Amino acid sequence: MRMHNPPHPGEILKSLCLEPLGLTVTHAAEALGVSRKTLSSILNGRSGISPEMAVRLSIAFDTTAESWLNQQTQFDLWHAEQSRKQLRVTRLAA
């Protein structure tokens, strides 16, 4: 079952990983081996979690890459479903 308006994975990352550890964006970005701009973009919902970032997060926070990608997929799918009625698609059923 799909969640109603799931949070962006960046929100989860911020509230469940960075804030409890008292990490700044700069320190977390350095630990992840990415730029501050890249991490900030994810935390602010402007960018999604890529497979590579999912692996980085899984290493840094002892989670699974799949959990990060699943969050991103649920977020993306929910937003795509919101425009379902505007899509012009012809059903191709046998």
Tens of pLDDT, residues 57-68: 999 999 999 999
Tell me what pLDDT residue 17 has.
Answer: 97
pLDDT surpasses 60 at 88:
yes
Q: Where are the alpha helices (DSSP H) in the chain?
A: 9-12, 19-21, 25-32, 36-43, 51-61, 65-81
pLDDT surpasses 90 at 94:
no
| Fold (CATH) for 9-82 | 434 Repressor (Amino-terminal Domain) (1.10.260)
Mean pLDDT for the chain overall: 95
Task: DSSP letter for 88, please.
Answer: -
Tell me what pLDDT residue 3 has.
Answer: 63
Tell me what pLDDT residue 91 has.
Answer: 92
Specify the residue for token string 């990490």.
Answer: 23
- Going by pLDDT thresholds of 50, 70 and 90, the confidence category of residue 2 is low
Mean pLDDT of 17-41: 98
Q: Classify residue 3 as left (phi > 0), alpha (psi -120 to 50) or beta.
A: beta
